[in-house]
Amino acid sequence: MLFLGYESAVQYWRVVRAGLVPFPPEAQITVVSNEDHLVKEVRCSAPALPIDGQFQPDVLVSQTKLIHRSDEIRHHLCARGLPSGSFCRHTSDVVVASPELCLLQAAHSLGYDGTIALYELCSEFFGCYTLCEGSPRGFIECPPLTTRQRVIDFLDKLPNGTNGRKLLRFATGRVGENSRSPRETECFLAMTLPARHGGFNLSRPVMNSPILLKEAASTLSCDDYYLVDLFWEDRGVIFEYDGELDHSARDRVARDKERRSVLASMGYTVVVGTKDSVSDDAALRRKMAQVFKALGIRMPSFRSEELAAQESLRRTLFNPSHHLDSPFTTPIVPDFALVAEGYI
C-alpha cells in the first residue's frame, strides 16, 4: 500500500478538484503501514498526477526501517496513530492524505515562517477554487474541499503535541471560507490580518455571501440574488475585486455596472478593487482608506514597523510569482498529452 502525503497529497487534491481524476470515495484508515509499491504504482494507477518532472512523491511510513534509499521518493515518518478519516483511497494500492490531514502536514512543514502560505492553502481548500497553471486564470472554480469546522473537528481528535496542530488551529481562525479566487483570498488577508502581520486589522467580512433581492427590488433586476466578494453585512458595505480576465469583456462590464447600480439603489456601498489598486503600497493604502471610510471607521495611523509589515505582505500576496515559492502554493501543471490520449 502506498500512502501519499505532504506536497504530493496537496497536488493530488488539486488534480481531483480540477476534474482530471475522479473524486475518490472516503476511506477510514487509522494505521499507516509499509509501502509495498513505489513510483511505478502511482504512475500506473493515477497517470494524471503531475509527478514526472514537477515533484517527487511524498510517502508516509510507520517505521524508519521502512525508509528506502531512492532519489525519486521523499519519505516522511508517521509513527503515531491517526484518527479515522485521515486518509482517502484512490485505488486499492494508493491511499492519499485527507484534506484535513494535508493541512496538518502543511502546517508542520511550513512552520510559523510559512504562515502566509498556510493561510492561502487553507483558503484554497475552504474556497471555491483550486490552483491550476493549465487554466488561463491560473485557477479553476470548484466546490470547497473541506470546511473550517471539519478541520477543527479533526484537530480535536489529535493528541496534544501533534506537530502542526497548534499552528493549523491558529490559521483556521484567520482565513475566510467560500473565496472564489486567489485574488479574493489575498484581498481578504490584506484587509483582516493584524497590523503587526502586515494587515489592516479590519473585521472579517463574509465571502461570496448571497444578497437576496427584496420583493421591492424585483423590478430593479431579473436576478433573485447577487453574490458579492466581501460583505460587511452590519455596515452594508461590499468590496469587489475586478480581475482583468473575468471583468474586462464588454458584456461583463455592462453587467457589473448594472449590478452595482442595483446594489447602490438598495442602500449598499460598493468599493471596487482592481489590479492597479494593489500595484504598489500607496495605491493599496488609498483603496483601504476607501474601505475604512465606507465602513465609517477612522483609518488608524500605523507605526513605521507596521507600515513595513504591510509593504512586505503586499509584495508577497499580490506578486503572482510568489505562488512558486512554496510547493504548497505552486499550482499544478496538467500533462495535456495525457488528456489527448484519453487518460484524463
Looking at residue 72, what is its pLDDT? 59
pLDDT band for position 44 (cuts 50, 70, 90)? low
pLDDT band for position 182 (cuts 50, 70, 90)? very high
Looking at residue 276, what is its pLDDT? 92
Q: How far apart are CA 257 and CA 262, in angstroms?
A: 9
Q: How far apart are CA 161 and CA 143, in angstroms?
A: 32
The average confidence (pLDDT) of the chain is: 80
Q: Is the pLDDT of residue 321 over 70?
A: yes
Indicate whether 122 and 246 sit together in one domain.
no
Global confidence as pTM: 0.84
Looking at residue 49, what is its pLDDT? 54
Indicate whether 136 and 190 sit together in one domain.
no
Indicate whether 31 and 127 sit together in one domain.
yes
pLDDT band for position 319 (cuts 50, 70, 90)? confident
Q: Is the pLDDT of residue 196 over 50?
A: yes
Looking at residue 326, what is its pLDDT? 83
| E strand residue ranges, 263-327 | 269-273
Indicate whether 83 and 203 sit together in one domain.
no
Looking at residue 33, what is its pLDDT? 39
Looking at residue 108, what is its pLDDT? 92
To the nearest whole percent, how much of the chain has pLDDT over 70? 72
Tally of domains within the chain: 2
Q: Is the pLDDT of residue 89 over 90?
A: no
Cell 483511497 belongs to which residue? 89
Which is more confidently placed, 189 or 55?
189
Looking at residue 37, what is its pLDDT? 40
Q: Which three cell numbers stand for residue 117?
A: 502560505
pLDDT band for position 183 (cuts 50, 70, 90)? very high
Indicate whether 292 and 336 sit together in one domain.
no
Q: How far apart are CA 238 and CA 245, in angstroms?
A: 21
- The domain in which residue 204 lies consists of 182-324
Indicate whether 200 and 156 sit together in one domain.
no
> Average of pLDDT values for 247-258?
71
Residue 207 C-alpha from the chain's centroid: 13
Indicate whether 21 and 151 sit together in one domain.
yes
Looking at residue 1, what is its pLDDT? 53
Indicate whether 151 and 21 sit together in one domain.
yes
Which is more confidently placed, 75 or 230?
230
Looking at residue 25, what is its pLDDT? 45
Which is more confidently placed, 53 or 169?
169
Q: Is the pLDDT of residue 327 over 60?
A: yes
pLDDT tens figures, 121-160: 999 999 999 998 778 888 999 999 999 999 999 999 988 8
Indicate whether 165 and 53 sit together in one domain.
yes
Indicate whether 158 and 200 sit together in one domain.
no
Which is more confidently placed, 165 or 30?
165
Indicate whether 191 and 134 sit together in one domain.
no
Indicate whether 140 and 7 sit together in one domain.
yes
Note whether 132 and 334 are within 8 A (CB).
yes
Q: Is the pLDDT of residue 299 over 90?
A: yes
DSSP readout, 85-129?
TSEEESSSSEEEE-HHHHHHHHHHHHTGGGHHHHHHHHHHHHTTE
Note whether 321 and 121 are within 8 A (CB).
no
pLDDT tens figures, 278-298: 989 999 999 999 999 999 999
Q: Is the pLDDT of residue 217 over 60?
A: no
